[in-house]
Amino acid sequence: MNSTSLRDLSQLRSLLDGFAAQHAAKRALHSPEAVKRLRHLLRELTEALRARDYAAFQRTDEALHRAIIGLAGVPFLLESWLVVWRGLKELHQKGFDECFTDTHSLREEHEYLVETIALGDEVAAEDAGRRHVQAVWFLLEAQQGASSGRTDAPLQRATAHIAFRMHCPLRLEQVAKSIGFTSAGNLSRLFRQQHGVSFQGYLQKVRLEKAADLLRTTQLPVVLIARRVGYRDVSRFGQHFKRRFGLTPSKWRDSR
């Protein structure tokens, strides 16, 4: 299957996963046993990731998504999803081997997906379902660009990477080398030239704006939103948020 077909199939899976997660969240608060099953599978998936056992990870990942679809309760959704899942097996293996040498971020993607469903938050669950598939495709494209020596549009690639991976630790030097295929100095210059801020300033702006969007459109706890946008320290998140928006996250949410 060529790269265009894989991209299209990946986009279709992204839509299906988002749809399934949204409908699963609708039913989660009234289905405690189903949610318990999701969390059990999440623990198994975490163990497979720690062992870097791809076969176990793939089995558990499929079982987790089947359970989400089962909870969603939409007729023919599983049959449609399985066709796409099987068509993307090549991409699954490639993504695991090449994009997730640090499996911490992959575990966090699945953890966030399960927690948004468990909380019954349809908007957050749909977003989580879509984005964890899109992130894999984006990272593979970045890998292909690196291997081909491509040097076009480093700023565009860096900003797209930030949008998909803002919940991960991001350093200028690493993003410049692995995503922008340029020097840290040049990428820093491009950020200041085009956006009027440093790389770190732009990253903080994007994180806080995404946090504001999640506060406005979801009922997720502030601590989970902080983690989702890349803050491990919720008090630091609160300080930065108040500095930008004039209110603490909780008060800002109440004022909407």
In this prediction, residues 245-252 reach a mean pLDDT of 96
Name the residue among 140, 109, 133 with its Cα closest to residue 13.
133
Tell me the pLDDT tens digit for each residue of 199-226: 999 999 999 999 999 999 999 999 999 9
Domains and CATH numbers, the chain: 3-150 (1.20.120.530), 151-256 (1.10.10.60)
Instruction: Give the burial string for 185-201 (b: 16+ CB within 10 Å, else e).
Output: eebbebbeeeeeeebee
H-state helical runs in 51-88 = 54-72, 77-87
Half-sphere exposure of 179 (CA within 13 A, CB side): 23
- Measured over the CA atoms of residue 57, residue 62, residue 66 and residue 69, the dihedral's sign is positive
235's tokens: 């008090």
- Measured over the CA atoms of residue 151, residue 161, residue 127 and residue 80, the dihedral's sign is positive
Tell me the pLDDT tens digit for each residue of 225-241: 999 999 999 999 999 99
Q: Is 166 left (phi over 0), alpha (psi -120 to 50) or beta?
A: alpha
Residue 102 pLDDT greater than 70, yes or no: no
Query: What is residue 134's predicted lDDT score, i.e. its pLDDT?
Result: 73
- What is the percent of the chain with per-residue pLDDT over 70, rounded to a whole number? 88
